[in-house]
Chains A and B, each alone.
Chain A
Amino acid sequence: MKIEICDVNKAFKQQQVLKQISLTIDTGRIFCLLGASGSGKTTLLRIMMGAIPMDDGSVTIGGTAVPNRQLLSEMGYMPQNEALYEELSVWENLKFFSGLQRLHRQKFEADAVALLQIVDMAACKNKLIRDCSGGMKKRISLAVALIHKPKLLVLDEPTVGVDPVLRRKIWLYLKQLRNEGTTILVTTHAMDEVTQCDDAALLRNGHIIARDTVKNLINQTPDGNIEELFFMDNQSEAEVASC
């Protein structure tokens, strides 16, 4: 699903968080929103999904203007923290969120078993969330976001706290989803994750300072390290000072 963000502004109280953001995200790509903490990544995601209103500008997803409730059934959202019910088991959490998406029970059961296998949680599906480790919660949270096979997947820092073996597995699966036509939007502040993505935009202090394919972005840097992009921008010093 193609996402078009047009001149979006957002301020909380006095602080301008997003300034004139315009961005197009193409169908069937893994798009990475890169930025330091506090740069407005999560705010942008929330606006895109219609959780919070933008001050002005517009967002359309697949040609439909946000906010739209039906659009939410095409989206899978994984928030930054786990957002799972501690008192419920892994399976019950999945079942609850699939119920909100109105999935059929038989379809849910088949899908859920397959999903848990991918995130390597099949063995402990009856474990309560409060007994799970941080990494396990992250994986379950990802499974919850995927349960209704969304066409657009929005992942807020999906691989923080996940070990390297599983991280590779998750990326492989995300790429497989992309090949099936799913659009995936990922935010991260870990630069090494970016290389897994197709396109990337760099967000700093509410501005998009670069947006291109990851390949091109890396070619722009002197040493192939995408982190350099944050230092190449001559505005950086002034804006840090203003904060």
Chain B
Amino acid sequence: MLSIVKRILGQMKNDKRSLGLLLFAPLLILTLLFFILGDSNYLPQITVVDMNEKFVTELENHATVIAVTEKPGAADYLEANGIDALIWTDTTDTHIDLLEKSSKSAAALEAIQETNKALQPSQNELIIDYVYETSGDNQLDSLGYIFLGVISFFFVFILSGMSFVRERFGQTLERMLMTPISRIDVIGGYTLGYGLLAALQSVVIILYAVYGLQLQVEGSVALCTLVMILMAFSAVSVGALVSIFANNELQLVQFIPVIIIPQIFFSGLIPIDTIPFGLGNLCYLTPIYYGCTALEMIMIQGKGFSEIWPWLLGSVVFIGVLFLANVIALKKYRRL
């Protein structure tokens, strides 16, 4: 088993470009995402209906303000004019109408909140209405954890799947199995070898995201790293298992959308309890669900080990099941 681990690390050491791609390509993508999703200095367009002048002046520091005297119908008005928010007051409350949950709405809300903060909190309660109500309260800004998980999973999956396919077609797998080594040792060595590389990648990604891109983490960074490492190990096992069903490199690439895209569905991008027909339960079959849920709990909700352990356990069980499946699947190449 140790020989295989050493060999995999040696192979990587001599293949600098693959190693570079493994470690730095995710960082490149994360950086790109950071700029795409990050602070874009977008000036929201906000229409105010008959509000006091102080409020309007302050709001103009944060947004493009259009003042009207009569309240239009929110839905038609927002849609037709490309306005992000409509503010109006009745006797007791201040109402904010928004079109839908999006980063633009978020920017408009932020501008209004900034204004309120500057003006001392108003006594009026803010009532926020969306024209198109969507369930869940994720805002794109808080989805960093999904991308952390998905990107790392993706790269590791390709790495381990490809090397296994290449090993089968270069017949080195057959040669390896024509020694007294047990199948458990082969899969164990493989999982551990690529798992170590994947763990290294996870650490690099998380450190870069937290300290380089200043991604907000409420809970412990170390715990995040642990979750990422577990997810990376499951990605290695998934890659190895899928490679058995791929007859060549092309087919493995074709498996990427089949395997990776459903993972993204269940990673938290779509709230699982809103998926119809109980299809949400499929999430238990996707390793990324366990990882991303745990990451969300740590990074957004600031939860600790005592609260996230069921998801960690889920990851571990998943790795175990895949490990056994791989050991059995290797029977195809040697009967013992």
Contacts and interface: CB of A to CB of B under 8 A. Distances in A.
13 contacts: A51-B333, A52-B335, A72-B178, A73-B180, A79-B174, A83-B175, A84-B172, A86-B170, A87-B11, A87-B12, A89-B14, A99-B2, A100-B180
A57 interface: no
Contacts of A104: none
Nearest to A145: B175
Interface of B: 2-4, 6-7, 10-12, 14-15, 170-172, 174-182, 333-336
Contact of B175 (A79, A87, A89, A102): A79
Nearest to B331: A53
Interface residues of A, number: 33
Interface of A: 49-53, 67-70, 72-73, 75, 77, 79-81, 83-89, 92, 95-97, 99-102, 128, 144
B178 A77 contact: yes
A68 B179 CA distance: 11
A51 B170 contact: no
A100 B14 contact: no
Given A51-B178, A79-B174, A81-B170, A99 B336 contact: no
B179 A73 contact: yes
Given A50-B336, A87-B14, A96-B4, 19 more contacts: A51-B335, A69-B180, A73-B179, A75-B178, A77-B175, A79-B171, A79-B174, A80-B171, A83-B172, A83-B174, A83-B175, A85-B7, A87-B11, A95-B3, A96-B7, A96-B10, A99-B3, A102-B180, A128-B14
A32 B268 CA distance: 62
Contacts of A85: 7, 11, 170, 172
Contact of A100 (B10, B170, B176): B176
Contacts of B4: 96, 100
B162 to A, nearest CB: 13
Contacts of B2: 99
Nearest to A99: B3
Contacts of B174: 51, 79, 83
A69 B182 contact: yes
A100 B171 CA distance: 16
A96 B3 contact: yes
Given A77-B175, A79-B174, A70 B180 contact: yes
A80 B175 CA distance: 11
Contacts of A53: 335
Q: Which 3 pairs show the lowest CB-CB distances between chains A and B?
A: A99-B3, A100-B179, A83-B171
Contacts of A86: 170
Nearest to A52: B335
Given A75-B178, A89-B14, A100-B181, A68 B336 contact: yes
A51 B175 CA distance: 10
Nearest to A51: B334
**B2, B6, B14, B15, most chain A CB atoms within 10 A:** B14
A52 B180 CA distance: 16
Contact of A67 (B11, B14, B15, B334): B334
B148 to A, nearest CB: 29
Nearest to A46: B174
Contacts of B333: 51
A51 B10 contact: no
